[in-house]
Amino acid sequence: MKERPDVNDLSMDTGVQQMITKARDEGIETAFDRADKMKQCGFGSQGVCCRLCLEGPCRISPTGNGPQSGVCGANIDTIVARNFFNNVIQGTASHAEHAREIAHALVETVAGHAPYTIAGVDKLKSIAQGLGIETEGKEVNQLVKEVTDKALEDFQKQEGTLNWLKLKADQKSYQTWENLGLLPENAHAEIAKGMARNVMGADADPANLLMGTVSMGLVDGFAGLHMSTDLQDIMFGVPKAVKAQYRLGVINKEKINISVHGHIPLLADKVVEWARKLEDEAKKVGADGINIVGVCCSANELLMRKGVSVATNYASQEMPIITGALEAMVVDIQCIMPGLQQVAECYHTELITTLPYSKISGATHVEFTTEKADEAAKEIVMKAINNYKNRDSNKVNIPEEVTEAYAGFSTEQIVEALANVNPDDPLKPLVDAIANGDILGAVAIVGCTNPRKRQDQYNVDLVMELIKNNVLVVATGCSAHSLGKFGLLSPDGLKYSGKEMREVLTAVGKANGLPALPPALHMGSCVDNSRIADLLTALANYLDVGIKDLPAAGSCPETHHPKALAIGTYFVASGVDVHVGVNPQVTGSELVTNVLTASKGDFPITTDELFGGKIIYEEDSVIAAQKLIERIKMKRKALGLK
């Protein structure tokens, strides 16, 4: 029998290593074991397998051996382009549904049917004004109604383009997209058209398919990411800097532990509220109280706005259960491994699904609706309390390590922090530091962890290399968690930074009553990649250049989800280079690869020529960081900077 990999090779997080060992000792399989057992298909991983109709599946060998087209005659480029498009459609649909859920929750709230309050009134006003809504003399509820009307229009309007695109796009990018005929009409239509276009016997021109993919990326960016963030800020308030704790050690042996996992903060927020309200009930069953911990992007939402601790990120989502001290894991949608239930069955943990379109067989289902949000959250917390008696103390083993991190760096918070250095011209200190080279540029670390890669290592290595070279890092999603676990979201992390950037971040931190700013600023969940776009847009407008001209880039070293490809497409279309450290499953087609990566430069069009951004596929994080730095230096030079 094949030896299982050493736990040290699976995750950089020693707490996770400890839990994988515990699981193995107890005969429980985790995602890391499953990844080891599962051979990756050489065809699928290059995107050359087509399953779009019942004549197939057809697969084409990129080496030129065997058939060079499917039964219908589709060639390798068409097949790869369609598969990539399909990934981006899936990612986009996820984000657009997220935005639409929040819009509906706001509608229900102001109609008096849902138990939420509007916490972000300033944001509401600024979004309303941006959408061209008259705000003078209007009540909050009226404004919410008008703003959500505009949001929901983006799922049904039959002419023009997305309201949120007009609200948030930078002018130069808008012009490019308009000239190329890429502006999307409404989110649902584009998703439907994308599916119709990508079906057997429809669009077979790989370049045209890639253009369709770019339009889909714009839907993802504006009707997904931006709309979700803006509406969530209206509902729950704009995040401010907070200090919180990271790693599995945040699970508390003396308390009832509930982990919240998924993406949409509507339920997660209510679970936190009810955990506070039901503390006395927890004490009645002999616990010290109720401890909420986060996993994945629900963790980010609660961390950014409520300072809730983060247990772990994607690849190790089973580990909180393996501690033996988790009474309930509550999930909503996206990135939830079905395997959680198999693991939960080995312990007393109750896995609770909450959405009618996202169930797991064997799990408990407590249906969540915004109207009955309180009832559902109360029922979930009571289930955890009642489950405490089933905890088996012989199975409890919680890793001890905990790290401290700062989060909550919304664009508004960053501008406010800079305003404490220069109240009249907040962006100036940052722009000056970039102009004089103290800060070379900025890179956004986004995306996931992936059980096939040593967890956290690639995210951390990339950031270490960047900050050493005075590149400022902003982070979102599960990659931000990687940084939090290893001290890079804390001012202490500045010891790894180049001297020049360390001085700048220390000065800005001091002006804000902190010892320093961390070398990596946590900007939120994956939909909050919109915040990164907002910051880039603000800088581009300030300098009167395009986003494509800024010395900035993005990177997802350990991604796993199609959502990341959708986000990446949006950023490439906006003129930002995006590094991916995981095979994006397009390498089977030279044409598609070259258009996206601009690697040969002899194709009639590349995304770099059209938009000023490209994909950089590189598995080695240090080499990837160097490539990003090279591009940053190139963009600096073009701006006339040293």
61 neighbors 48 (Cβ within 8 angstroms) = yes
Q: How far is the CB of 587 from ligand SF4 (least distance, A)?
A: 18
Q: Of 297 and 330, which has the nearer Cβ to ligand NFS? A: 297
Instruction: Pick the closer one to ligand SF4 by CB: 64 or 640.
Output: 64
71 binds, among ligand SF4, ligand NFS, none (CB under 5 to 8 A by kind): ligand SF4
Select the binding partner of residue 619 from ligand SF4, ligand NFS, none (C-beta < 5 to 8 A, by kind): none
Which residues are CB-neighbours of 329 under 8 A, at least 6 positions away?
Answer: 258, 259, 261, 295, 320, 321, 340, 344, 349, 350, 351, 352
Determine how many CB atoms are found less than 10 A away from the CB of residue 529: 31
Instruction: Copy the structure tokens of residue 279.
Output: 């503390």
- Which has the closest alpha carbon to 399: 293, 488, 476, 306? 293
445 touches ligand NFS (CB under 6 A)? no
Which residue bears the tokens 């995006």? 578
User: In the set 16, 303, 478, 536, which binds ligand NFS (CB under 6 A)?
Assistant: 478
Round to the nearest angstrom and report the end-to-end CA distance of the chain: 58
- The CA dihedral of 142, 143, 148, 149, to the nearest 10 degrees, is 70
In the complex, the smallest distance separating the C-beta of residue 81 from ligand SF4, rounded to whole angstroms, is 12
Q: Do 248 and 320 touch, CB atoms closer than 8 A?
A: yes
| CA distance linking residue 211 with residue 221, whole number of Å | 15
Residue 318: CB minimum distance to ligand NFS, A: 14
Residues 621-640 contacting ligand NFS, CB under 6 A: none
Please give the backbone phi and psi of residue 454, each rounded to the nearest 5 degrees, phi first.
Answer: -55, 115
Residue 563 or 635 with smaller CB distance to ligand NFS = 563
Paired strand residues for 365: 353
CA distance 448 to 427: 30
**DSSP three-state, residue 358:** strand
Whole-angstrom Cα distance, residue 418 to residue 413? 9
CB atoms inside a 10 Å sphere around CB 395:
15
CB nearer to ligand NFS: pick between 464 and 478: 478
Q: Give the nearer residue to ligand SF4 in terms of CB position, either 79 or 427.
A: 79
Residue 561 interacting entry, from ligand NFS, ligand SF4, none, C-beta within 5 to 8 Å by type: ligand NFS
Question: Of these, 297, 308, 351, 552, which contacts ligand NFS (CB under 6 A)?
Answer: 297
Indicate which single residue of 448, 535, 553, 580 sits in contact with ligand NFS (rule: CB under 6 A): 448
For residue 440, state whether it binds ligand NFS (rule: CB under 6 A): no
Minimum distance of ligand NFS from residue 608's CB (angstroms): 25
- The answer to whether residues 551 and 613 touch, using CB atoms and an 8 Å cutoff, is no
Could you say whether residue 408 binds ligand NFS (CB under 6 A)?
no
Separation of alpha carbons 543 and 537, rounded Å: 10
CB contact set of 492 (below 8 Å; sequence gap of 6+): none
The interface region with ligand NFS, picked from 112-120, 405-413, 556-564, 603-611 by CB under 6 A, is 556-564
561 forms part of the interface with ligand NFS (CB under 6 A): yes
Residue 353 pairs in a beta bridge with 331, 365
- The pattern of x and - marking residues 505 through 544 that bind ligand NFS according to CB under 6 A reads --------------------xx------------------
Residue 266's binding partner out of ligand NFS, ligand SF4, none, with CB under 5 to 8 Å set by partner kind: none
The residues of the shown chain that bind ligand SF4, judged by CB under 6 A, are: 50-53, 55-58, 70-72, 74, 79, 200
**144-183 binders of ligand NFS (CB under 6 A):** none
Least separation, in Å, of the C-beta of 50 and ligand SF4?
3
Give the residues lining the site for ligand NFS (CB under 6 A).
263, 296-297, 314, 335, 447-448, 477-478, 525-526, 561, 563-564
